[in-house]
Amino acid sequence: MANRKLLCVGDEHGCCALLPDWELHAAATLAEAARLLRTNVVLTGLLFLPRQGGAPGLAAIDRFLRHHWQVQWVGVADAATVRQSGFCELAAEHLYDYHTLPLDPPRLRHILGHAHGLALLHSAAPAPHAGPMALTGASAAITRLRVQIRKIAGADAPVLIWGESGSGKELAAQAIHSASARASAPFVPINCGAIPAALIQSELFGHARGAFTGAARDKVGLIESAGGGTVFLDEIADLPKDLQSNLLRFLQEKTIYRIGSTRSIAIDVRVVAASHVNLQQAVLAGQFREDLYYRLNVLPLTVPPLRERRDDLVALAEQFFHAYAIDKPPRLKGFSAAARRALCEHDWPGNVRELINRVRRALVLAEGRLIGPHDLGLPGPQAGVPDAVQLGDSRSLAERAAILASLERSGGNVTHAARELAISRMTLYRQMAKHGIAPDAP
């Protein structure tokens, strides 16, 4: 019990002294609380809200809680503050629960205990990999890929990566570079299909001053800028045929010529190329040089599509949830069980790129505390089962009717309605928000 940390913010009267079972950290202001949270891991917070009209006001508190959403907050306020315009939204958006003055220590300890237990459950969840650009997962397919990358990274020969669009070919190339002896040198990605044909030779190899109209000075090409490191040629199949011969010469001789220059420049880079097109078929169709294909395909690597990594889907979704958490509202805590099942049942034709897009969309559009299948744009696991859907609709309608009836009997008094329904006020506020019932509904 002694290791339970509690951050008390704005406790002017020393009420937190009535909580002997907690390791207390006190902050008089929101700024001081923010400083404490930067240097201390605190899972539970007790926030004393200012009296009506007092500083810093609900707007400043909203900004503070929005930034420190990872803490389970319990609010303490007097009756006048609870009746303020905006308090209901603040409580529903940011607080686990709230306590109305005068203080009732046993009840407050009970609320804080529940909040701390929920915080422990969240903190026990597996930590995501750092950043959205990691090769996450423990499936057999991704494990084999990691083993191959470790072997390939130790060599210095060209690598040809094949994989479906959006499967993570550039991530694999970055992993090869990071695990190689060239890791401290530049990693330069080049999308061969995104550079206009008229500019691609100048972009890749650079040009000399006066080589053409507008060439006012010497320009270093992208390949030269990767000196000592790795150049990643994405979608190599989109490279025009005349430039394929220039790239072949560079691979053979390790030298380049800038446009308009007669002086060769020796370049020490490792070439990693990638394509979602089957280059063997492109060679047979006369769209890709056979000699260049064999020069690039020294160390082949295949990135598995997401449908072959179903065991990794939830871990990947959690990783992207945390990586793009800045876009989410504070109330959003993760994925529902139904969303997790929907993730595993989808075929993912757009691979990892599609998963990132769906998660980012859900972070912005989700309205509850957990992301559901509909937030991801996926059918629910029980889609197509009419009886289950009708039962859910009937329950929702019954809940809404019961809340409206209780509010009408209590004259709109939320406290009395909650007592009649045998639920807490906080739960009633959440149910009202869920069913679109205004706080002042008669």
Q: Which of 179, 173, 265 is nearest to 218 (CA)?
A: 265
> What would the pLDDT profile of 373-418 be if each residue is shown by its tens digit?
999 999 875 544 444 444 555 667 777 778 888 887 887 788 888 8
Domains of the chain: 1-124 (3.40.50.2300), 155-304 (3.40.50.300)
Q: What is the pLDDT of residue 130?
A: 39
Would you say 331 and 369 are in contact if contact means Cβ atoms under 8 Å apart? Answer: yes
Rounded to whole angstroms, how far apart are CA atoms 71 and 137?
28
Q: What is the pLDDT of residue 45?
A: 92
Long-range CB pairs of 345-350 (<8 Å, 24+ gap) are 345/378, 345/381, 346/378, 347/307, 348/305, 348/306, 348/307, 348/313, 350/165, 350/166
Q: What residues contact residue 310 under an 8 Å CB cut-off, 6+ apart?
A: 139, 344
Token readout for 309 is 């990594």
Q: What is the pLDDT of residue 381?
A: 55
Q: What is the pLDDT of residue 124?
A: 59
Low-confidence ranges of the chain (pLDDT < 50): 1-2, 54-55, 126-133, 383-390
Chain centroid to Cα 374, Å, comes to: 18
Rounded to whole angstroms, how far apart are CA atoms 65 and 72?
10
